[in-house]
Amino acid sequence: MDAVNLLGFDLQGLAAYCEQLGEKKFRATQLFRWIHQKGASDFEQMSDLAKSLREKLKGRAHIAALSVISEHVSTDGTIKWLFDVGAGNAVEAVFIPEDDRGTLCISSQAGCAVGCRFCSTGHQGFSRNLTTAEITAQLWFAEHNLRKRLNTDERVISNVVMMGMGEPLQNYDQLVPSLKTMLDDHAYGLSRRRVTVSTSGVVPMIDRLREDCPVALAVSLHAPTDPLRDQLVPLNKKYPIAELLDACNRYLEKAPRDFITFEYCMLQEVNDTPELAQALVKLLKGRVSCKINLIPFNPFPASGLTRSTNARVQAFAEVLIQAGIVTTVRKTRGDDIDAACGQLAGEVQDRTRAHIRMVRAPVTVAKSTP
């Protein structure tokens, strides 16, 4: 029997597992703290854990990290790790240090099935969902690796954004226990406001997340009209804008923040005209409490798209701001190491297209801060 990876459990899951082993539930809390707060991976280290439990765990379970294929450190301090998830697939996580916080951008899938036109992950196709253990392992590794290199016992990562490879709400069942671990005071203790799920708009799953684990929500909008959004985000054909906005409003009833962040990737002469900015105002104003985050497009050749000029981005932002909508333009980070959330190009064996496709987009990428 394969060893169980304990990174795959939230506290409730670990308690159930301990019970299965004939152990008291509170042992799970001790074990959980050793794993996530101390970064332990060896049961022998867990000195206050009953010896009998340690013995039981040894044969049956392990704390298995992902193996790191590469690490790149940008001159601005951004760090990008490429992790091996087996069978030729790799996913990326990016750490973005700022004065007042440390943000980790995490992947939820190897590839992505949504296939947005401007996204290099989307162009690679879909390989598979990551498991809870693989999602949590990105945070576990990054947090404890950073503590070691900074020589500190203090928490380094204060924010997590699900903006790496993949559509998190198309991997819902594996995502939720990982989110719960991020929030758990016995693990990373992150505030709900500081954990963000970014989605291209999987409406039924937005509703489920509201009930199961409401965290901050970012919605990748990219267009104010259905015909245009249909072209950019194919999922729009299934869940058009009006339904998506209704789901956003339902989400706000339980959300930890009183606004939804709408992401809007700025594509030259595609979705960046002043008329479309007006249409966006008309769509959103008085309808959903929101902020808009304009993301300069990170080009890659296969997209056939170009980044809006700064002047066009500014003009677009101006229309929104004049209308009273809080708008930010994402600044770029990690330029020199090709580290952009949502634009990460790990290696994916694309099974949706039944042949092995490309892999590392030769992109000039900028990493952005959510």
Active centre residues (catalytic): 92, 341
What does the alpha-carbon distance between residue 28 and residue 13 come to, in Å, rounded to a whole number? Answer: 9
Contact present, 246 and 206 (Cβ < 8 Å): no
Tokens 């005209």 -> residue: 273
Residue 142, token pair as written in the block: 């990054």
**Which one of ligand SF4, ligand SAH, none is in contact with 263 (Cβ closer than 5 to 8 A by kind)?**
ligand SAH
What does the alpha-carbon distance between residue 171 and residue 173 come to, in Å, rounded to a whole number? Answer: 6
Per CB under 6 A, 119 contacts ligand SAH = yes
Per CB under 6 A, 272 contacts ligand SAH = no
Among 90, 93, 112, 203, which residue interacts with ligand SF4 (rule: CB under 6 A)?
112
- The least distance separating ligand SAH from the CB of residue 187, rounded to whole angstroms, comes to 23
| Residues in contact with 148: Cβ distance below 8 Å, sequence separation at least 6, in sequence order | none
Per CB under 6 A, 92 contacts ligand SF4 = no
Among 8, 296, 342, 346, which residue interacts with ligand SF4 (rule: CB under 6 A)?
342
What character string, x for contact with ligand SAH (CB under 6 A) and - otherwise, covers 294-313? -x-xx---------------
Per CB under 6 A, 239 contacts ligand SAH = no
User: HSE (CB half, 13 Å, CA atoms) of 329?
Assistant: 16
Residue of minimal Cβ distance to ligand SAH? 342
What does the alpha-carbon distance between residue 254 and residue 282 come to, in Å, rounded to a whole number? Answer: 25
Contact present, 343 and 120 (Cβ < 8 Å): yes
Among 33, 65, 85, 115, which residue interacts with ligand SF4 (rule: CB under 6 A)?
115
Among 175, 217, 284, 341, which residue interacts with ligand SAH (rule: CB under 6 A)?
341
Q: Which stretch binds ligand SF4 (CB under 6 A): 40-48, 108-116, 187-195, 287-295?
A: 108-116
Per CB under 6 A, 199 contacts ligand SAH = yes
Q: Which stretch binds ligand SF4 (CB under 6 A): 56-64, 95-103, 109-117, 142-150?
A: 109-117
**Which one of ligand SF4, ligand SAH, none is in contact with 271 (Cβ closer than 5 to 8 A by kind)?**
none
Of 1, 20, 75, 284, which Cα lies nearest the Cα of 9?
20
Q: Which stretch binds ligand SAH (CB under 6 A): 10-18, 133-141, 176-184, 293-301?
A: 293-301
CA distances from 338 to 120, 306, 330, 346, 354 (A): 12, 17, 16, 11, 27
**b/e code 95-107 from CB counts within 10 Å (16+ = b):** bbbeeeebbbbbb
Shorter beta-carbon distance to ligand SF4: residue 22 or 304:
304
What does the alpha-carbon distance between residue 315 and residue 335 come to, in Å, rounded to a whole number? Answer: 24
Per CB under 6 A, 106 contacts ligand SAH = no
User: Helices 51-60 & 26-36, crossing angle to 10 degrees?
Assistant: 60
Binding to ligand SF4 in span 196-235, by CB under 6 A: 200, 220
Shorter beta-carbon distance to ligand SF4: residue 33 or 117:
117
What does the alpha-carbon distance between residue 64 and residue 62 come to, in Å, rounded to a whole number? Answer: 6
Q: For binding to ligand SAH (CB under 6 A), which residues are involved? A: 118-120, 163, 167, 198-200, 220, 263, 265, 295, 297-298, 341-343
